[in-house]
Every structure is written in structure tokens, then in C-alpha cells.
Amino acid sequence: MGALRRCRSGGLAICASLICLVSVALQPPAALAAAGFTVAVDAVTGAGWSADGIELRILPGDGSGDIAASVRVERLRLPEPVGELRDVTLRCDTVAIATAEAGYRCERGRAVAQRSPLDPEAFSLAASYRPADGRLILELPDLPWQGMTLRVSAQLADDGWTAAVEGADLDAATVYGALAATASMTSTATTVPELEIAAGTAGFRLRARGEDGGAIRIDSRITLRDLSLANTSGSLAAEGLDVTLEAQARMPEPGGRLDYTATLTADAGEAYVEPAYFNLSASPLTLASTGGLDLAGGPVRIDSFLLDHRDVLAASGEAVLRRGEEPAVARADVEIADAVFPGVYTTYLQGFLTGTPLAKLETRGRVSGRVRLDDGGVAALDLALDDLHADDADGRLAIYGARGRIAWDVAPDAAPVSSRLVWDGGFVYDAGFGAGTAAFSSTPDRITLQETLRLPVLDGALVVETFAASGLSGDEPAVEFDARLEPVSLAGITTALGWPALPGKLSGELPLLSVSEGAVTLGGSLVARVFDGTARISELRIEQPFGANRRTSAEVALDNLDLALVTDVFTFGRITGRLDGAIRGLEMLQGRPVAFDARFYTPADDDSPHRISRRALSNISEIAGSGTAALSAGFLGLFEEFRYDSLGIRCVLEGDICSMSGVQPAQQGYYLVKGSGLPRIDVIGHSRQVNWPRLVAQITEALKSREVSTSPQSEERR
Amino acid sequence: MIRAKTRAMTHPAAWLLLSALVLAACVTINVYFPAAEAERAADRIIDEVRGTGGTEEQDTTSRLPPQALPARFAAAVADFLVPAAHAQDRPDFDASSPAKRALEQSLKQRFPQLKPYYDSGAIGLTARGTIEIRDRSLIPLNERNRVRQLVSEQNADWEALYREIARINGHPEWEDEIRQVFADRWIAKAESGWYYRDAGGQWRQK
């Protein structure tokens, strides 16, 4: 009876149960067994299992002292995932009966069980039972389970139990199907993602040990080779993946908390965990971790992890992960020992930056430091940059040789932290800048420039005296800004734009900067002393500075330029006199003008000599679409220069159409040049609507013809 | 007197005159959306972006319901009454602007990079005049993020183009209609084997 009690408490699996029954039945004197008999039992129940319609048959042995035995159970109900089995028969051809100390042994057993009449499953078994200490040992070398063959062994004793399951060279898809079926049957809080496994083999070794007091220890090793899989949406996928997982776990009580130590190694193939992409053949990774979780639900606690992703990232730390339909990081403290660019950018960062100006960078360099994450993303960071280079493939921005420290902490009670960044140079669109240093102090809601930032631009510099952005957690941060542009040679700017080198310098005060709805507006103005006059750019506003549809608007005013100096540079044909001008409502899309109202004209109070060369007249006439034949005909051909009263042009650009007008209306058209004296030449424009791209092409052509020709024929073609 | 007035108003000529005035007033503010013109312009832009120039197989059947007779009549009368003065106010979907040209150019440059994914069925056309990743499993793992970026950029350009066409024509409120026309024309002109979302949002293969 003692044996029966132990059997009930230890009902582990089908075979264990049956061998238990046999051993109970064999408690009577061996002599009786030698003669053979049959015992029928209606039902036996235990914790979590029951057997109905049991028939035990003891058959006479072959005379060597051993006997044969068989047990048949009509219906055996075992805990999931095994479930209900019908017509279970177990036959042992060699049952050794020894003393109570040595116990009983079934050496060549054979069992047949079926889940349905059409699907019988037969397997071998060997078992022994020793009543003295209640030790039951079970070996199932070829147990069929969910279409696979597993090797199972178990040992039950008064002080606990051990069980081992092993499988080798299994089809990964079959293993996954079995696990998913098991998980759904046992309906624990663990959800198995829906995966389609296209290829791969799996092997595993699982050892479990039950201790006195109910604790369970599990020691496992799982290897997956050449695994190809994908989830339904394709956001999770792997190809040719080799993974090894070694894990040890301890459950103080079954189904309760689980503490683990695990090491995952992935050293071949590729994986995509949207939006991160891993090329593991090129950069294998090892992730070692310890932690725990509550099997009934709740977060996963990662007490420590150590990631070694070759040539990409070496990091360690601790974290809490939320489980559920959308697993997420609830909290993480990460110590980055070495983040190597471009590996860390292409693997971990680039996918998250899709659609931003930082999505197409070519990177190089290293970063180390600490990052703290919480529910809302990055909560704090303290990074050291080591010779970091980032270059946008679309040429929008670049920074070279960045080094220093960037720190930020968004905790409400965090003390201000300082950052200091040094760089060798970079670009913002076509504007290159040189080496500089920026020192910032930041609180959760405010970033302040701590010392004057001097950004070399060509032979001048942009000097930022004040920069402070506050309200960073909101949509529209308030910015305090005060900067000035130290004189920059126009020559450098204009040659960078592919224009002739202009004399003069550009400088200015930029006392304000505001950011609103993705647009940056600069207060103040940039002034260039140019051609003995001034050019002033103000109300500069840039929408989507780094977006695909960058829109820039500005107002430009030209005051009292010396036309002689202008035409010397542009080889447009010499003109003397003064010129005023204004470009109102200038709008540019990706650096090309799309709308403006531009006027250039002789100032009313200009009393300097007004002279215009035949070549200039010819060029103006071409632009206006007028003929120039008259200039070379007859006695006019004798004059190289003419006097003029005033000249001017106005173009209102909208779309592709420039609406043209001049200094004043003429009888048919408008005056572009109003002559004076004798011989008097007027240039009258007739085209009111001019195609802007064609006009630009004409002007470019006129400016390009640098070799000043003396031949009237080539000057006045028509 | 009253009777005479009434009779005068019932005279067909008086009605015609009144209608004509009303219609003329309507036309000057141009509230109707010229869908047929928009369709033709969309076809040209789509051909330009795909670099096909309209040589390959095309579905030329218009998806528009036939324009109601009264509306056509109204348009004819309006054209007659306001020939020159308002001609420039009438929408011209082929009107160009630097922004439109830049967007078309950018769409055209990106299209060949996206074409293989249209062909494989990895991306498909939406009912909103944009594209979408339909089946990631058809994209090699190392290309998935690049395709996500391309799709994001192409869609940003399409949206900007619809906005710009509406803006050039002086009717920013037409953006949705223009988008719809492009959506329909893209689907109509899709190559055999490409995927698109039908009105119910289901993927279908052309």
C-alpha cells in the first residue's frame, strides 16, 4: 500500500503510472506470480491523472525465474499536453522480481497507446522499481510525440525526481508546431508568435529536476541550424540562421516564478526584427543574461545582460520587459562599452530613422556611454563620441570628426548636465563649415549654449552668442538666439554656387530665431557691402529645413550698387550708373526660386554718368525678346557707348511664368532702357509673359560668354 | 401688368438668358472639378514617372461616370459666354511649376529602384494614390529597410505633388480629388501582376 501511495503522488507520465501499477500488483508472493493470474481494477485516480478499466495480467515466465506481465487500460487521462489515451497496453517480456531491496525490473518493455483508433503509437521502454526507497527509473528511448521521436528518461524517488528529454536532427517546423500546440493546450500566459518555418533543423536537450519542497530546476540546450522563418506580416524573419541557446532555470514552485541564466549565440545567417537587421554571418552575436519572470504573467526582469555583437556593439546592463501582445521595454539601463559605426547604425538605428533626415547616413567612428530607457523612450543618455563622421547621402548635412560628450537627463528632478562637442568640419547643404566647439548645459526642458560658438564659414564665421531652447517637451520650443555673421567673402559663396566671384563681404546680425510648425525663422538681416552699395537679406524663413520639400523665403534689398563694378564682374557689357533693387516675397523650393517680385532700376536721385555699351544693350534686348539689328545698322554702328536716362526691369515670378515690365510703360510694351541725348537708344520690351526657365537659360548664357567680342556681327546676331 | 411680367418670364428666351447668367456666374468661380482633364494629366505624369511614355498596354477606359448632360451643357454655354476673359482662370493640370517639375523628377528617378518590388508584388498601389509594402516576405531581408525608406520618400513626393497641382490651379481644396484621380489612374494603368487595394481595402492582383 505504501507503494500505491507513492505511485499516486508521483504520477508523472503514462509509463511511470503503468509500471507503478505493475509493481503494486506484484507485491503478493512471487510463487503466485509464477502460476499466472489476472487482476481487474475499475478505476485508479491520482493527482491530475486517472485510469479506467484496468486489467493486469501476469503470465508464467520461461522458467528462468523471470515472468512476463501486461497491463491494459481502457482509458487513461493524463495532464495536458498528453491528454486522454485509449486502449493503452503495456507488455513486459522480462520482469525480474528480486528482493524488496533490489526491487523489480522490466527490461524489454513495449507499450502501445492511441489517441484515436487510427493513430496507434508504439514505443519501447525499460523500467525498474525499488520498493525500499520508492525509486522508479524509466527509460523511453524512442517515444513518439507530435510526429517526432524523443528520448525520454525519468527517475522518481522519495526525495524528488529527474526527467530528461532529448531530440536530435528534428525538423524545426515540426518542433515549433508541437510547441505551439502544447502552449495553446496548456493555455499559460505565454503566447507563441505565429511563425511559418520554411526550413531548419532543431536539436534539444532538456533536463528537469524536482526537489523536495516542489522546486524545479531545468537545464536546457537548444540548437537551431539553417533556420528560415517568418511571421505573417514579415516583420520578423530569418534566413539560414544558426542559433544556440543554453539556459538554466529554477522554479521555486511549479507554474510560479522562474529565475534563469541563459546564453544565446547566433553566428550564421541573417535576421530581420523590424526595423533592425542583423547580418550574423558577418557579425555574430552572443547575448548572456540572467533574470526572472512570473509564469502567470507580468514583466520579464533581466537582472543583467551582456551583449557582444562583433564589430557592432558591446553593451551590458539590466532591463524590465513588458510581455503581452506588444512586448516592449518598460525600463532599461544600458552601458555601452563600444558602439562601432557604421555597424551599429545600419543594424540598430537606421531602420528607426526611416523618413527622417538621418535615414541615409554614411557613418564611421565609435560611441560609448550610458543610456537609460523608460516607457517613453530615452530617459537619459551620457555618450562619449570618438571621431564620429556622418555624411548624408542626399547631401543635406554632414559632420566630420565629432568627439566629446553628449549628456541629457529628462528626469524631472535631474540636475543640469553638461555636454561638450568638438568637430573638424561639416556641411549644411552647400554651406561648409569648419572646426568648432559647442558646450551645452541641459535640463529636462531646456538646452543652453554655455560659451560662444564660433563656426568658421569660408573666411568668416557664424558666431552664436546666445542659444537656448526651452519647452522641449512641447511641440513648439521657445528659442532664444543671438548670432552674428563675421564678414565672409562673397567670392567664396558665389563660386561655391557656380557663379563668377563677386567682390565684397557678407556679414550681419541675426538676433532672433524661432521654430514653429517645422519652420525656422531668422530675425535680423544679413548685409553685404557689395559693388560700392549694399545688399540686405532679411526675413529669412526655412520650412522643413531637412525635408524633401525644403522651402525658403526671404526679402532682398539692393541699395545704390555701382553698375560699372557689377558689369565688370559679370561681363554682361559695361554699364555705368547706380542701381537699386528689391526681391520681395522670394520663395525657393530646394534652393530654386519659385516665386518673387523682383525689381532692379536706376535710382531717381542718381546723378552719376549713365552710359551703356552696345554689348549690354544687345544683351538686354535679347532678354527682352527684342531685335538688336538696329544697333549695328547705319551710323549707330559707329558708337560703342550710348547715354541713357534710366533703366530697369521687373519680373513677377509665379509658377514658370515671369510677368515682365520695365522702368515705365511704352506705347507698345515697356521701357527697359530709356535713352537720352543723341543718338538716343530705347530698349522696349514687348513680351509681358516670359517663360522663366528659358529666361534663366538666356541670362546664364549671356553671363557665360566671358570673352568679350569686338565683332559687331557676333554681338548682334539676328 | 402682373400677367404680362409673368408671361415674359415664362418666355423661353428669358429663361435661357437667366440660365446663361447663372451659369456664367458659376463658371467664373470654377467650382466644378474637371475630372477628365485631371485624368489626362495624371496619365501623362504617371507615364513620365514610369518612363513608359504610354507605349505599353493601357487601360484607356475612363473610370469616371459619364458627365451628366446638364453639366456638359452648362460647360459649353459657359465656354461660349466667357471665352477669353476667364480662360486663364480655368484649371490647367499640365501647368508646370518648378516645384511640380522637381517632384516629378524625383519620383521618376526613384521609380526604377521601386519597379522590381511592384513586379514581385512586394509593394502595391493603395486607393489613396500612394504605395505600400504589401508582402515583406518577397523582399530579401537586407533590402527591407531600404524599401521602407524608398516607399516613405516616394509617398512624401506623391503627397506633395497632389498638393502642388491643386495649388498651381488655385484650388488647394482639390487635393483630395486629384489624389483620387491619380489613385484610380495608377490602378488602371498598373502592369499585369501588380497588386492594388480595391475600394474595400483588399489587395487584388491586376
DSSP string of A383-404, one letter each residue: EEEEEEEEEETTSSEEEEEEEE
Answer whether B156 touches A (CB < 8 Å): yes
Neighbours of A532 (CB within 10 A): 15
CA distance B18 to B34: 24
CA distance A618 to A622: 6
> How does pLDDT run across A56-99, given as a tens digit for each residue?
888 776 666 667 888 888 888 876 656 777 888 888 877 776 66
B contact test, residue of A273, A589, A653, A691 with most B CBs within 10 A:
A589
**Residue in A292, A241, A296 with CA at minimum distance from that of residue A264:** A241
Kindly report the three-state secondary structure assignment for every residue of A448-506: EECCCEEEEECCEEEEEEEEEEECCCCCCCEEEEEEEEEEEEHHHHHHHCCCCCCCCEE
Q: Which of A234, A274, A359 sits opposite B135 (nearest CB)?
A: A234
Q: Which of A277, A360, A693 sits opposite B141 (nearest CB)?
A: A277
Host H or E run for residue A619: helix A614-624
Is B144 in Cβ contact with A355 (below 8 Å)? no
- For residue A551, the chain B residue with the least C-alpha distance is B99
**Residue in A468, A506, A507 with CA at minimum distance from that of residue A484:** A507
Distance from CA of A637 to the nearest CA of B (A): 41
**Residue in A369, A374, A382, A368 with CA at minimum distance from that of residue A417:** A382
For residue B75, the one-letter residue type is: A
Is A270 in Cβ contact with B168 (below 8 Å)? no
Question: What pLDDT, on the 0 to 100 scale, is given for residue B56?
Answer: 45
Question: What pLDDT, on the 0 to 100 scale, is given for residue A621?
Answer: 80
Question: What pLDDT, on the 0 to 100 scale, is given for residue A5?
Answer: 36
Question: What pLDDT, on the 0 to 100 scale, is given for residue A667?
Answer: 84
CA distance B85 to B24: 12
**Residue A263: C-alpha distances to residues A243, A245, A295, A304, A532 (Å):** 10, 6, 20, 12, 74
Confidence band for B81, pLDDT divided at 50, 70 and 90: very low
Q: Which of B95, B106, B148 sits opposite A354 (nearest CB)?
A: B148
Question: What pLDDT, on the 0 to 100 scale, is given for residue A64?
Answer: 61
CA distance B201 to B188: 16
Question: What pLDDT, on the 0 to 100 scale, is given for residue A185?
Answer: 64
Grid coordinates belonging to A611:
552710359
**Phi, psi dihedrals of residue A574, rounded to the nearest 5°:** -75, 135
Q: Contact at 8 Å (CB) between A674 and A663? A: yes
Residues of chain A with pLDDT under 50: 1-16, 28, 706-718
Checking if the pLDDT of B63 tops 50, the result is no
Checking if the pLDDT of B204 tops 50, the result is yes
CB neighbour list of residue B156: distance below 8 Å, 6 or more residues apart: A355, A547, A548, A549
Question: What pLDDT, on the 0 to 100 scale, is given for residue B61?
Answer: 45
Is B96 in Cβ contact with A360 (below 8 Å)? no
Is B142 in Cβ contact with A270 (below 8 Å)? yes
CA distance A458 to A497: 13
Is A233 in Cβ contact with B96 (below 8 Å)? no
Chain A residues touching B95 at Cβ < 8 A = 655-656
Distance from CA of A446 to the nearest CA of B (A): 32
Q: Please count the helices (runs of H) and the strands (runs of E) in chain A.
A: 11, 43
Chain B residues touching A349 at Cβ < 8 A = none
B contact test, residue of A196, A235, A272 with most B CBs within 10 A:
A272
Answer whether B142 touches A (CB < 8 Å): yes
Q: Contact at 8 Å (CB) between A647 and A674? A: yes
Chain A residues touching B152 at Cβ < 8 A = 354-355, 359
**Number of cross-chain residue pairs from A and B with Cβ atoms under 8 Å apart:** 73
Question: What pLDDT, on the 0 to 100 scale, is given for residue A80?
Answer: 60
CB neighbour list of residue A383: distance below 8 Å, 6 or more residues apart: A336, A367, A368, A369, A370, A371, A405, A406, A407
Question: What pLDDT, on the 0 to 100 scale, is given for residue B15?
Answer: 55
Question: What pLDDT, on the 0 to 100 scale, is given for residue A305?
Answer: 97
Answer whether B87 touches A (CB < 8 Å): no
Q: Which of A272, A590, A594 sits opposite B144 (nearest CB)?
A: A272
B contact test, residue of A549, A552, A653, A654 with most B CBs within 10 A:
A549
Return the bridge partners of A597, or none.
Answer: A584, A652
DSSP A538-571: EEEEEESTTSTT-EEEEEEEEEEEEHHHHHHHHT
**Residue in B155, B98, B76, B164 with CA at minimum distance from that of residue B123:** B155
Q: Which of A277, A360, A656 sits opposite B98 (nearest CB)?
A: A656
Distance from CA of A518 to the nearest CA of B (A): 15
The complex's ipTM? 0.74
The gap between the terminal CA atoms of chain A, to the nearest Å, is: 124
CB neighbour list of residue B140: distance below 8 Å, 6 or more residues apart: none
Chain B residues touching A359 at Cβ < 8 A = 149, 152
Question: What pLDDT, on the 0 to 100 scale, is given for residue A25?
Answer: 52
- For residue A279, the chain B residue with the least C-alpha distance is B142
- For residue A592, the chain B residue with the least C-alpha distance is B98
Q: Contact at 8 Å (CB) between A73 and A51? A: yes
Question: What pLDDT, on the 0 to 100 scale, is given for residue A98?
Answer: 64
CB neighbour list of residue A338: distance below 8 Å, 6 or more residues apart: A313, A314, A366, A368
For residue B6, the one-letter residue type is: T
3-state helix, strand, coil split of chain B in percent (to 5) is 65, 5, 30
Q: Which of B144, B156, B160 sits opposite A277 (nearest CB)?
A: B144
- For residue B107, the chain A residue with the least C-alpha distance is A548
Q: Contact at 8 Å (CB) between A69 and A59? A: yes
CA distance A386 to A579: 52
DSSP A654-706: ETTEEEEEESEEETTEEEEEEE-SSS---EEE--SEEEHHHHHHHHHHHHH--
For residue A691, the one-letter residue type is: N
**Beta strands, E only, B7-158:** 123-125, 131-133
The gap between the terminal CA atoms of chain B, to the nearest Å, is: 68
Confidence band for B13, pLDDT divided at 50, 70 and 90: low
Q: β-strand A641-654 against A592-601: which pairing, if any?
A: antiparallel
Chain B residues touching A351 at Cβ < 8 A = 145, 148
**Residue A31: C-alpha distances to residues A97, A370, A444, A468 (Å):** 11, 77, 88, 99
Q: A489-507 as b/e, with b when 16 or more CB fall inside 10 Å?
A: bbbbbbeeeeeeebebbbe
**SS3 for A630?**
helix
> How does pLDDT run across B35-57, given as a tens digit for each residue?
888 888 899 999 999 988 654 44
Question: What pLDDT, on the 0 to 100 scale, is given for residue A631?
Answer: 61
**Residue A648: C-alpha distances to residues A460, A580, A602, B28 (Å):** 34, 9, 6, 35
Q: Contact at 8 Å (CB) between A574 and A554? A: no
Q: Contact at 8 Å (CB) between A333 and A305? A: no
Confidence band for B17, pLDDT divided at 50, 70 and 90: low
Chain B residues touching A272 at Cβ < 8 A = 141, 144
Q: Is the dihedral of CA A520, A524, A530, A535 positive or negative?
A: positive
A contact test, residue of B136, B139, B153 with most A CBs within 10 A:
B136
Distance from CA of B137 to the nearest CA of A (A): 5
Distance from CA of B141 to the nearest CA of A (A): 6
Of the CA atoms within 13 Å of residue A568, those in its CB half-sphere come to 12
Is A233 in Cβ contact with B153 (below 8 Å)? no
Grid coordinates belonging to A351:
531602420
Return the bridge partners of A58, or none.
Answer: A37, A69
Is A355 in Cβ contact with B152 (below 8 Å)? yes
CA distance A225 to A280: 13
